[in-house]
A and B are shown apart, each in its own frame.
Chain A
Amino acid sequence: MVSLFIKSLNLGLGEFWKVATSPIALSAYNVTFLTALIAAVINGVMGTILAWILVRYDFPGRKLVDALIDIPFALPTSVAGLVLTTIYSPNGWLGQLFAPFGIKIAYTRLGVFVAMLFISLPFVVRTLQPVLGELEPEVEEAAASLGANNGQIFWRVIFPPLLPPILTGVALGFSRAVGEFGSIVIIASNMPFVDLIAPVLVFQKLEQYDYTGATIIGTILLLTSLFFLLIINLLQQWGRRYAN
């Protein structure tokens, strides 16, 4: 890590800035960060629903569903890329449902999106489950008996303590999606200005022996993940305040 920073410091600020904000890099950040953000937010909502039904409701197969949440952790990323590309290609299981409408998913930015959706799904569920498990239904019953309606109970009683773990999960999922390489390099066409993400850009620059370019984009990625590590730590501290 030290070597990465020193190497980029040696380049001088002017050179660094020029490569870091070149059009191809800017478009790669756009594809990476914006797509990851959308995927992380959607998983924030769906993850909350999943955590809720897993903790609060009993239904057949609940234990199995709970175990399935970990699939993206257990499946190597290149395998994920391979199956997602197969499923979402125009004659794949899901791709053929979209093909008649002229929507292509594999080899487009939508492919990047579904891969990010896949790999960032477990984070919100796993951060939320323990907090939700400790929440006492008595408090909700007390609120109800004091005359609160369902909307009030949810927004005033249930939601506030859940917000820190939800945001922590979204941040974890986002930073995982931003760094993802294996599944996306397979499902995307990796064309500059179309669906090229920043980690693939670093990889391509390395393949072309452009070590300077790779170092600069890599430094940007590293700084982003350090920044998000800080955010996640702060969110966890905020969550701990609720726990006490």
Chain B
Amino acid sequence: MPTKRKSVTSKWLLIFVGLSYLFLILLLPAINVFYEAFHGGIAKFLESFKDADLIQAIILTVTVALIAVPLNTIFGLCAAWVLARNRFPGRALFLSILDLPFSVSPIVVGLMLVLLYGRNGWFGPILEQADIKIIFALPGIVLATAFVTMPFVAREVIPVLEEMGSQQEESARILGANDWQIFWRIIVPNIRLALIYGVLLTNARAMGEFGAVAVVSGSILGQTATLPIYVEQAYKDYHTQSAFAAAVILALLGVFTLIIKEFLERKGQLHSHSNRTNY
């Protein structure tokens, strides 16, 4: 069959074209992080961690994530429950607003925060009187991070909540369960995997956010520079080895996130590829 042979040829041709493109555009950069960090040897890699600024950047990044991630987990759960269980006017608008952080440039997010909380911003005078510093300080970094990571938990949990329906919750209520019991015994076990993945995505983005944080933090090394900002600043100052050492930590976080995602998808309860395009 000539057509059969032709389709086999075109199959391997397409696979070759697709994989070559993927290799050049995605895989090579990913391999390069590890190559650049380690090709001088482990000792040289570890030496970068003697830099106090790098340690400070790691501490700051973890601190910001520890505040922003729980905040958005709670918010995400509430938003998901409201949106999945209720039909109300403006629901579609609410859903679109929830997606805004995905489509707005992180720079614009930072700009909005500066216009609100900066010295000449709306709340600027009040904040100055109360001696509270938000822009160029930790609260600003947390706000920026919380804004860009807002949708992840809700976006992962909504489809699962919608699919499971509200019957189990209603039965539990009739049997006398209170809200707290319903939440922990019915909802959490059902949405467990989606929730874990949502939290993981929130964390990955929280630790990796650059643009919005760059605007509000002032990028002062050793003070307000998070890990992604340290990467940029160190590279600009020709400390290439330190830049790649910090980059490896962030890349490992990414690899970890992807592996857990694969694992959760294989367990089957995660909606493979649903809404997975909105980053």
Q: Which residues of A contact B (CB under 8 A)?
A: 1, 3-4, 7, 46, 49-50, 52-53, 57, 59, 63, 65, 67-87, 93-94, 114, 117-118, 121-123, 126-127, 129-130, 150, 169, 172, 175-176, 178-182, 185-186, 199-200, 202-203, 206, 211, 214-215, 218, 221-222, 225-226, 228-229, 232-233
Contact = CB atoms under 8 A, between A and B. Distances in A.
B59 interface: no
Given A71-B30, A72-B26, A181-B107, A50 B21 contact: yes
A125 B191 CA distance: 26
B254 A53 contact: no
Interface residues of B, number: 69
A65 B23 CA distance: 10
Contact of A126 (B111, B227, B273): B273
B235 A186 contact: yes
A66 to B, nearest CB: 9
Contacts of A117: 25
B120 interface: yes
B96 A77 contact: no
12 contacts: A3-B121, A4-B115, A65-B19, A75-B254, A78-B208, A83-B32, A93-B28, A94-B24, A203-B107, A206-B110, A218-B108, A229-B103
A185 B214 CA distance: 11
Contacts of B33: 75, 79, 82-83
The binding surface of chain A is classed by DSSP as helix
B143 interface: no
A172 B115 contact: no
B104 A225 contact: yes
B157 interface: no
A202 B107 contact: yes
Interface centre among B18, B21, B29, B278 (most CB of A within 10 A): B29
A121 B27 CA distance: 12
A82 B277 contact: no
A200 B228 CA distance: 17
B235 A82 contact: yes
B197 interface: no
B67 to A, nearest CB: 18
B207 interface: yes
B261 interface: yes
B107 A68 contact: no
A78 B207 contact: no
Interface string B138-155: 000000000000000000
Contact of A46 (B21, B96, B116, B209): B21
B137 to A, nearest CB: 16
A4 B111 contact: yes
Given A4-B108, A70-B261, A86-B36, A49 B18 contact: yes
B114 interface: yes
Contacts of A232: 103
Contact of A87 (B29, B107, B231, B244): B29
Nearest to A186: B232
A3 B215 contact: no
Interface string B95-129: 01001100111111011101110101110000000
B26 A118 contact: yes
A95 B215 CA distance: 31
Interface centre among A83, A94, A186 (most CB of B within 10 A): A83
B277 A77 contact: no
A7 B244 contact: no
Given A46-B18, A53-B14, A126-B276, A179 B108 contact: yes
B26 to A, nearest CB: 5
Contacts of A69: 22, 26
A119 to B, nearest CB: 9
A74 B227 CA distance: 15
A60 to B, nearest CB: 10
Contacts of A65: 19, 22
Nearest to B256: A74
A3 B30 contact: no
A130 B272 CA distance: 9
Interface centre among A57, A71, A78, A83 (most CB of B within 10 A): A78
Interface string B202-237: 001001111100110000000000011101100100
